[in-house]
Chains A and B, each alone.
Chain A
Amino acid sequence: MELQGNPQAGAGAGAHAPAEPAVALGGVDITFHLADGGRYQAVKGIDLNVFPGEFVSIVGPTGCGKSTLLNAAAGLLTPSTGRVDIFGKPLAGLNRRAGYLFQQDALMPWKTALENVKVALEPMGVSDKEADQRAREWLARVGLRTFVDRYPHMLSGGQRKRVSLAQMLIRNPEILLMDEPFGPLDAQTRQIMGNLLLDLWSRDRKALMFVTHDLEEAIALSDRVVVMSAGPAAGIVADYKVTLPRPRDIADIRLEKAFHEIHRDIWTSLKVEVQKAYAMGEGRELVGGDVS
């Protein structure tokens, strides 16, 4: 697969960052053994470095193995071949230095917002009193000061994501992994959540891997956008640097000329993969949706 990326992208990424990447994937292949005895190679030959302080989005057609890659970085699954290094050390088991924001609801439904955030501190041995206070601070920071005693089902989708965000960030992980976290939300809520995320992230700039199928979202948020090819055996086809100035407002930034230029560049390489995916039948739902 040829590299269609912007030539200055990959090299520039780590230039002023520390030499050691927070997450380094080297020659990663991931193959699933299916229930019917078959095999499915999700991703193949992935080389990807994410440096501390870097916001990297991964975009690609549906089913291209974006989430698989994230799960490998989290240690939730082990690559069939290749290396996963976290701050220079090979990853064994779960990635203890990472926080993970899931696409689906991951809150414990039997706990209130406060309890859900508090519980994240329990494995770290924080006293109950301190955990309570810190959890309240975090819930206030994500704009849920008055919702602490609500159970997840009493919160909207966006509010639940805010709780998840607080739950992840209260542990102060050095690496943030996000799997289409705002996918199920409506357009306005996504923008608000995007701005909240940027606001929280810009305070201490952790390494962040953000999987999304929304290219605009990826550009608006990121320092780098990595484009993956259509699966099976998906690889990285391009790696673009997004040089838009920060702080950004992700609603306003979409109107800028520079944004459109970057969008056009990346879309040319993404489009090819999206069409390939449709041709292979991955896009059936969407095509069906258009017809009806």
Chain B
Amino acid sequence: MKRIKLLSLQVLVMLVFLGAWHVVTTTSLFGDVKTLQFFFSTPTAVLTRTFKQLTSGDIYWHLGITLTETVLAFVIGSLAGILFGFAFARRELLSAVFDPYIKAANALPRVVLAPIFALWFGLGIWSKVALGFTLVFFIVFFNVYQGVREVSPTILANARMLGMNERQLFKHVYWPSALTWMFSSLHTSVGFALVGAVVGEYLGSSAGLGYKIHEAESVFDVTGVFSGMLILAIFVIAIDAVVTLVEKRLLVWRPGQSATTA
């Protein structure tokens, strides 16, 4: 009962929004219809275009490019983040020396790097991967660093009293703890990998979802821009659902994740 109520309210919000949009852009209540449609398009036009794009094959190629960039940025960024996170957490001196530089690098708005990356790596997928990498790396790095540093002292002392050496401590204590922190930021880091890819494409490329949106924008095709955004949103929700699934599988031991008792 509650679920149905919630769902119908959610649908209601969408209908009100689409209805308002429709009324504004198809009646002369708010001004000239042609001007309004130029700026805001109409919900039916956007939905029709989206449907057309999703049923024609072309868009999937672009989605494939964007997905490839996202996955590469995520994987490479995570690997580097894990490596450096561990190194910095276990070496006091290293983290002390590099602390200001890491902070400075992280404070830098990554968009300004996009032209540099385009110059270095060309207009293909690698400049987008590089941009996504700079976003993912820091999230994973900070989480792994935190995860290693904040291992419960009791769990650590207990493991040491059980006779574990450094390698075994790493395997049974530091690594799982760091992974937990990393997984807890999985949604954010996957999201940022996608942001890097799309922004990179938007700023200069010949393929991908960001490119499609940019292409529509440059010919003032507002319907195309909105439809691109809609497809992007569906894409993000789909990726997020996959991440949630992975998270549930990997963090079964966490309270609240699967509190079912046999």
Q: Which residues of chain A have a CB within 8 Å of any CB of chain B?
A: 74, 76, 94-96, 98-100, 102, 104-112, 119-120, 122-124, 149-154, 164, 167, 171
Query: Are A110 and B161 in touch, CB under 8 angstroms?
Result: no
Contacts of B163 in A (CB 8 A): 96, 120, 123-124, 171
Chain-A contact segment, one of B14-22, B76-84, B230-238, B252-260: B252-260
Taking the nearest CB of chain B, how far is it from the CB of A288, in angstroms? Answer: 27
Query: Are B162 and A154 in touch, CB under 8 angstroms?
Result: no
| CB closest chain-A residue, reference B163 | A123
B110 within 8 A of A: no
| CB closest chain-B residue, reference A152 | B253
Contacts of A153 in B (CB 8 A): 253-255, 259
Instruction: Give 20 A-B pairs besides A102-B158, A104-B154, A112-B253 with Cβ atoms closer than 8 angstroms.
Output: A74-B161, A94-B160, A94-B161, A95-B161, A100-B158, A104-B152, A106-B154, A107-B155, A108-B173, A109-B253, A109-B254, A119-B172, A122-B172, A123-B164, A123-B165, A124-B163, A149-B262, A153-B253, A154-B261, A164-B158
Contact of B162 among A109, A111, A120 (CB under 8 A): A120
Distance in angstroms between the alpha carbons of A167 and B155 in the assembled complex: 13
Q: A123-B162, A153-B254 are in contact. Are A110 and B154 (CB under 8 A)?
A: no
| CB closest chain-B residue, reference A164 | B158
B interface residues, how many (CB within 8 angstroms): 25
A-B residue pairs in contact (CB < 8 Å), sample of 27: A74-B161, A76-B161, A94-B160, A94-B161, A98-B161, A99-B161, A100-B158, A102-B157, A104-B152, A104-B154, A105-B154, A105-B155, A106-B158, A107-B155, A108-B176, A109-B254, A110-B253, A120-B163, A122-B172, A123-B164, A151-B253, A153-B255, A154-B261, A164-B158, A167-B162, A171-B162, A171-B163
Distance in angstroms between the alpha carbons of A164 and B165 in the assembled complex: 19
Question: Which of B158, B159, B161, B253 has the most chain A CB within a 10 Å cutoff?
Answer: B161
Contact with A along B145-173 (1 / 0, CB 8 A): 00000001011011111111100100011
Query: Are A106 and B261 in touch, CB under 8 angstroms?
Result: no
Distance in angstroms between the alpha carbons of A164 and B180 in the assembled complex: 22
Taking the nearest CB of chain A, how far is it from the CB of B144, in angstroms? Answer: 15
Distance in angstroms between the alpha carbons of A124 and B163 in the assembled complex: 8
Contacts of B162 in A (CB 8 A): 119-120, 123, 167, 171
Taking the nearest CB of chain A, how far is it from the CB of B228, in angstroms? Answer: 41
Contacts of A123 in B (CB 8 A): 162-165, 168
Taking the nearest CB of chain A, how far is it from the CB of B124, in angstroms? Answer: 40
Contact of A122 among B168, B173, B261 (CB under 8 A): B168
* Complex A-B, nearest 5 residue pairs according to Cβ-Cβ distance, in ascending order: A106-B158, A123-B163, A153-B255, A151-B253, A100-B161
Distance in angstroms between the alpha carbons of A152 and B158 in the assembled complex: 15
Contacts of B168 in A (CB 8 A): 122-123
Query: Are B253 and A106 in touch, CB under 8 angstroms?
Result: no
Distance in angstroms between the alpha carbons of A151 and B157 in the assembled complex: 20
Distance in angstroms between the alpha carbons of A46 and B253 in the assembled complex: 43
Q: A110-B253, A123-B164, A123-B165 are in contact. Are A150 and B261 (CB under 8 A)?
A: yes
Distance in angstroms between the alpha carbons of A123 and B176 in the assembled complex: 18
Query: Are B176 and A110 in touch, CB under 8 angstroms?
Result: yes
Distance in angstroms between the alpha carbons of A114 and B154 in the assembled complex: 19
Distance in angstroms between the alpha carbons of A171 and B160 in the assembled complex: 13
Taking the nearest CB of chain A, how far is it from the CB of B178, in angstroms? Answer: 11
Taking the nearest CB of chain A, how far is it from the CB of B166, in angstroms? Answer: 11
Taking the nearest CB of chain B, how far is it from the CB of A180, in angstroms? Answer: 13
Contact with A along B218-253 (1 / 0, CB 8 A): 000000000000000000000000000000000011
Query: Are B157 and A76 in touch, CB under 8 angstroms?
Result: yes
Distance in angstroms between the alpha carbons of A100 and B154 in the assembled complex: 11
Query: Are B155 and A106 in touch, CB under 8 angstroms?
Result: yes
Query: Are A108 and B155 in touch, CB under 8 angstroms?
Result: yes
Contacts of A152 in B (CB 8 A): 253
Distance in angstroms between the alpha carbons of A95 and B157 in the assembled complex: 12
Distance in angstroms between the alpha carbons of A195 and B163 in the assembled complex: 28
| CB closest chain-A residue, reference B151 | A108
Interface set, chain B 168-187, CB cutoff 8 A to A: 168, 172-173, 176-177, 180
Contacts of B173 in A (CB 8 A): 108
Distance in angstroms between the alpha carbons of A151 and B257 in the assembled complex: 12
Taking the nearest CB of chain B, how far is it from the CB of A64, in angstroms? Answer: 20
Distance in angstroms between the alpha carbons of A152 and B254 in the assembled complex: 9
Taking the nearest CB of chain B, how far is it from the CB of A249, in angstroms? Answer: 30
Distance in angstroms between the alpha carbons of A102 and B155 in the assembled complex: 9
Contacts of A122 in B (CB 8 A): 164, 168, 172
Query: Are B159 and A108 in touch, CB under 8 angstroms?
Result: yes
Distance in angstroms between the alpha carbons of A96 and B160 in the assembled complex: 9
Distance in angstroms between the alpha carbons of A150 and B228 in the assembled complex: 46
Distance in angstroms between the alpha carbons of A74 and B158 in the assembled complex: 11
